[in-house]
Amino acid sequence: MTILTRLANNGVQGAMKPFVASRHASHFNFIPSVADPSLGETTKMNLFTAINSAMDITLDKDKTALIFGEDVGFGGVFRCTNELRNKYGSDRVFNTPLCEQGIAGFGIGAAVAGATVIAEIQFGDYIFPAFDQITNEAAKYRYRSGSEFECGKLTIRTTWGCVGHGGLYHSQSPEAYFSHTPGLKVVIPRGPIQAKGLLRACIEDPNPCVFFEPKILYRSAVEEVPVGDYLLPLEKAEIIKEGKDITLVGWGTQVHVIREAAEMAEKELGISCEVIDLQSILPWDLESVANSVSKTGRLIVSHEAPITSGFGAEIASSIQKECFLNLEAPIERVCGYDTPFPHVFETFYIPSKWRVFDAIKKTINF
């Protein structure tokens, strides 16, 4: 894991950027969001500094709060925990042995005993050893005990999504596995403002949360982020662009891909697209998506994860039921193929803006 970690990290940090850029251009353009002015003073942050800010605020406000995982002590392989150990002490920000099931189990136990827990799994790809602890234990703690015990103060952060050259085990999007687990909340932000507000919301939420951070955005996504504390609502989608002909739903980095495809479709085909960032995978905001599709009559869901049993299937099926009389074309899913995530073929694997664009065209012409 270590060598691969370093490789992926260096890539994100930019040490290998010229080489990466020469292979293929980035598959999306990050367009900064504008924070609600009521949230106060802002400063430029990228995604990792926004995450760091959310954790800094938590440690400052909540003396029980702990942050731990592999290599978080020196600042983390993606710099998300930078300086936190110096500021809050090594009993609150500390390295664990290299063992994901241990990290999750330890986190659950600390939360059971009343601590606020932010546990890090270094890559979403390595969350599977902790799958039993997360799905059989964390998710079911409250239910099985009749609320005698719960681990609602647990938040598990992990990286997520493709990064250009991550191959099989530094690219995965495992959200659908967790979406099938009642008791969990699963959240994915699209940029720094959302990352900070949604992570703070996950930490404060009285239920165990899995928070996926699109690692390709750690450095590349920069915008004006409120410096103070704020929470963005969980279980709520955000319409980031209004439209009337077709609804596009995505989350994480893919929101930027579908927005670009939407702009291409407007410019080249005159199609008005409504773009929705789902943000919360579980529980998800069926109402917002259904309202949009009732208006537009068409839906495309797009995610990086493989198509079969991906979360797009849940959305398509639910919307088909809710909006049967409004639908004017089959719901389309533009997703990763049903293969492991490949290294040199990444550009052909991911649901690119061209594939989304093509799906928009075909759905409109149906």
Partner 1 sequence: MASRLLKLTRLSGLTKRSTCTDQFRLNEYSTKYLGNREVTFTETLSFEDSHHSKAIPIYRVTKSDGQFLNPKDDPHFDKEQAMKMYKSMTLLSNMDKVLYDSQRQGRISFYMTNSGEEGCHVGSAAALNPSDLVYAQYRETGVLMYRGFPLSSMMNQCYGNEKDLGKGKHMPVHFGTKDYHFVTISSPLTTQLPQAVGSAYAFKRDGSKKVVIVYFGDGAASEGDAHAAFNFAATLRAPVIFFCRNNGYAISTPTSEQYAGDGIAGRGAGYGIHTIRVDGNDLFAVYNATKAAREVAVNENRPVLIEAMTYRVGHHSTSDDSTAYRTAEEVEEWKSKDSPIERFSKYIIGKGYWSEDEDKAWTAQARREVLKAFNAAEQIKKLPPSEVFNDVYDSLPRHLQRQAGELKEHLKEYGQHYPLENFNKH
Residue number, 100 or 332, with CB nearest to partner 1: 100
Least CB distance to partner 1 at residue 216 (A)? 30
Q: Residue 247 forms beta bridges with which residues?
A: 274, 299
Residue number, 112 or 255, with CB nearest to partner 1: 112
Tokens coding 136: 């059989």
Residue number, 97 or 270, with CB nearest to partner 1: 97
Residue 269 CA to residue 152 CA, distance in Å, equals: 48
Residue 105 CA to residue 27 CA, distance in Å, equals: 37
Q: Which of 70, 100, 150, 175 is catalytic?
A: 100
Sequence-distant (6+) residues with CB within 8 A of 26 are 164, 220
Least CB distance to partner 1 at residue 327 (A)? 20
Residue 364 burial (10 A CB sphere; 0-12, 13-18, 19+):
middle
Residue number, 119 or 356, with CB nearest to partner 1: 119
- What DSSP line would sit under 303-341, residue for residue? EEEESTT-HHHHHHHHHHHHTTTT-SS--EEEEE-SS--
- Indicate if 170 belongs to the active site: yes
Least CB distance to partner 1 at residue 149 (A)? 5
Least CB distance to partner 1 at residue 61 (A)? 16
User: Residues 334, 338, 339, 344: what is their CA dihedral angle, to the nearest 10 degrees?
Assistant: -20
Q: Which of 27, 165, 170, 303 is catalytic?
A: 170
Least CB distance to partner 1 at residue 56 (A)? 19
- Indicate if 27 belongs to the active site: no
Which residue ranges make up the site for partner 1 (CB under 8 A)? Answer: 64, 66, 91-92, 94, 96-97, 99, 101-102, 104-115, 117, 129, 132-133, 136-137, 140-150, 152, 182-183, 185, 206-207, 235, 283, 286-287
Question: Which residue, 161, 174, 150, is CA-closest to 100?
Answer: 174
Residue number, 113 or 168, with CB nearest to partner 1: 113
Residues with active-site annotation: 100, 170
